[in-house]
């Protein structure tokens, strides 16, 4: 299955709502740039979210991951880790996805149990108030605008329309979409967590080529029963009782790089999504470009895998050929907003980094007055 579009209404943080479209809205001149579903539906291979500090990038990834966990990984609301403080009573979620040659829309209304604010561990507060599933054949889409068009004649299931017996068997925090996606299992990797969690898990030996790419001084890394053995080319041999302690002799970049490439191999093998927060952290820019290129390479990415990442650095975007796969997170009157780069910039012959750094699109660069105030403050401190 493939997710086409995710939309939220009535949520905290993003007052204007949140829309994340994974389809190609611009003209497709090269099929190798995208994944083809039909003559009118193409999916992005790489999607970036860029913004200055505290613009809502990580929150955006959490919203995306939350929906994918429910729709694609069959998790209930507790297992999917509802983004607390963002999802509220009567939050509406619409997710469009394609599977079995059909396009489905899951229209969900989230409820919040009013009696569970005090002890959410004993009484999980979120539940599905209502769910409606729409269905139409992929062949019914004759133009791009048709992808998101659904009407009541396409409704195939309602949560409120289930029999009392069915309701009794279905927990109120489990989605009815499971009946559609039960046998779909795309691989989803996410790195919305601290660097300490990047360490290799399970019994494994890190590939020699990956080791050389990130640290030529290491001869081998072997993990067995959570014990880590690191052998350096100068003969030094370290054994650690746990994965966290192994980070004492490995750089953060080496840890992150090895882990991401191992996970990328799984995504390419099984198909799915790789979600990386702040992709540039601890990584040389050239290696970031390499990861992006892997997902764009048709010979490597044969399973229609998709990379979704956030970044602070616009220079990374210059290697991306398309402009409709770039989202900008910015604050308008102190409120985060998500917008698509291609809605504001029509030309593709200008470096994307120049557009972002010039603040051509308001809110893509730090406020000049604030920068000057900080400079003045630092100068005064020195006096």
Q: Between the CA of residue 140 and those of 40, 97, 228, 286, 370, what are the distances in Å?
A: 10, 15, 54, 43, 52
Which candidate, 353, 305, 347, places its Cα nearest to that of 328? 353
Rounded Cα distance, 205 and 243, in Å = 13
pLDDT digits (tens, 9 = 90+) for 284-331: 899 999 999 999 999 999 999 999 999 999 999 999 999 999 999 999
pLDDT at residue 373 is higher than 50? yes
The predicted model gives 14-31 an average pLDDT of: 95
pLDDT at residue 334 is higher than 50? yes
pLDDT at residue 120 is higher than 70? no
Question: With pLDDT > 90 as the criterion, what percentage of the chain qualifies?
Answer: 70
pLDDT band of residue 380 (cuts 50, 70, 90) is confident
The predicted model gives 50-67 an average pLDDT of: 95
Q: What is the mean pLDDT of the chain?
A: 91
Q: What pLDDT does residue 207 have?
A: 87
The predicted model gives 8-36 an average pLDDT of: 95
Q: What pLDDT does residue 117 have?
A: 52
pTM over 0.75: yes
Q: What pLDDT does residue 245 have?
A: 80
Stronger pLDDT, 84 or 43, i.e. the higher one: 43
The predicted model gives 210-226 an average pLDDT of: 87
pLDDT band of residue 200 (cuts 50, 70, 90) is low
Structure tokens at 174: 């489990």
pLDDT band of residue 371 (cuts 50, 70, 90) is confident
Q: What pLDDT does residue 118 have?
A: 46
pLDDT at residue 102 is higher than 50? yes
**Domains in the chain and their CATH numbers?**
2-186+271-382 (3.40.50), 197-257 (no CATH)
The predicted model gives 209-233 an average pLDDT of: 88
Q: What pLDDT does residue 114 have?
A: 72
In this structure, the number of other CB atoms found within 10 A of the CB of residue 89 comes to 14
Rounded Cα distance, 147 and 253, in Å = 41
pLDDT band of residue 206 (cuts 50, 70, 90) is confident
Helix axes 252-270, 285-296, angle to 10 degrees: 0
> What does the DSSP 8-state code read for residue 65?
H
Structure tokens at 146: 């048709």
pLDDT at residue 376 is higher than 60? yes
């Amino acid at each position: 299955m493939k997710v086409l579009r995710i939309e939220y209404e009535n949520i905290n943080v993003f007052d204007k709502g949140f829309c994340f479209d994974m389809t190609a809205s611009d003209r497709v001149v090269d099929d190798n740039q995208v994944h083809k579903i039909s003559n009118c539906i193409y999916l992005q291979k790489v999607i970036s979210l860029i913004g200055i500090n505290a613009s809502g990038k990580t929150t955006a990834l959490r919203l995306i991951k939350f929906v994918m966990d429910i729709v694609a990984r069959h998790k209930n609301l507790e297992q999917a880790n509802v983004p607390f403080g963002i999802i509220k009573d009567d939050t509406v979620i619409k997710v469009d996805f394609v599977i079995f040659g059909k396009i489905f829309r899951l229209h969900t209304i989230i409820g919040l149990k009013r009696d569970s604010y005090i002890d959410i561990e004993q009484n999980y507060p979120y539940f599905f108030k209502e769910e409606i599933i729409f269905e139409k054949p992929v062949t019914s889409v004759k133009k791009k605008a048709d992808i998101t068009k659904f009407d009541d004649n396409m409704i195939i299931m309602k949560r409120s329309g289930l029999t009392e017996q069915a309701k009794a068997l279905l927990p109120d925090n489990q989605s009815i979409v499971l009946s559609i996606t039960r046998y779909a299992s795309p691989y989803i990797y996410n790195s919305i967590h601290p660097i300490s969690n990047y360490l290799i898990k399970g019994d494994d030996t890190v590939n020699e080529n990956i080791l050389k790419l990130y640290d030529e001084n290491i001869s081998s890394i072997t993990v067995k029963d959570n014990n880590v053995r690191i052998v350096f080319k100068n003969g030094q041999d370290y054994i650690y009782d746990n994965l966290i302690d192994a980070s004492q002799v490995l750089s953060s970049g080496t840890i992150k790089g090895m882990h991401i490439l191992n996970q990328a191999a799984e995504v390419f093998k099984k198909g799915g999504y790789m979600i990386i927060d702040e992709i540039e952290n601890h990584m040389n820019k050239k290696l970031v470009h390499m990861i992006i290129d892997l997902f764009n390479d048709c010979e490597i990415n044969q399973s229609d895998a998709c990379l979704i990442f956030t970044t602070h650095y616009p220079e990374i975007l210059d290697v991306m050929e398309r402009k409709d796969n770039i989202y900008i997170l910015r604050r308008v009157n102190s409120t985060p907003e998500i917008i698509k780069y291609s809605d504001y910039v029509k030309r593709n012959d200008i470096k994307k980094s120049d557009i972002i750094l010039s603040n051509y699109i308001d809110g893509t660069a730090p406020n000049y007055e604030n920068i000057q105030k900080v400079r003045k403050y630092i100068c005064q401190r020195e006096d």
